[in-house]
Structure 1
Amino acid sequence: MVFYADFTDIRLAINSEKQIKKWSRAKKEALINNEFEKLPNLAKKKFK
């Protein structure tokens, strides 16, 4: 395990896990490396 967060409600924990599973590899790596400032830019879709 490389990232964890504490939750007081199991439903919030499950929803967060489901959301993170859908993220790109780059976004997950930013989360793991505590580079939270990069998350908004990595969330944007790139249109060609």
Structure 2
Amino acid sequence: MKISNRDVLMFFLGFATLFIILTIYDWDSTIGEIQRGWEAGSK
């Protein structure tokens, strides 16, 4: 079985789409984690 460039592209597009959907769905938690990371990095 040969994996084509199209297969790899579709895999990464699916991964990116899932990441975007989960980020939007759990927006409050995402913002909280970003702020927590920013504060931890500035110390």
TM-score normalised by structure 2 residue count: 0.41
- Structure with the bigger percentage of helix: 2
Greater relative contact order, per chain length (Cα 8 Å cut-off, separation 6+): 1
TM-score normalised by structure 1 residue count: 0.38
Larger radius of gyration: 2
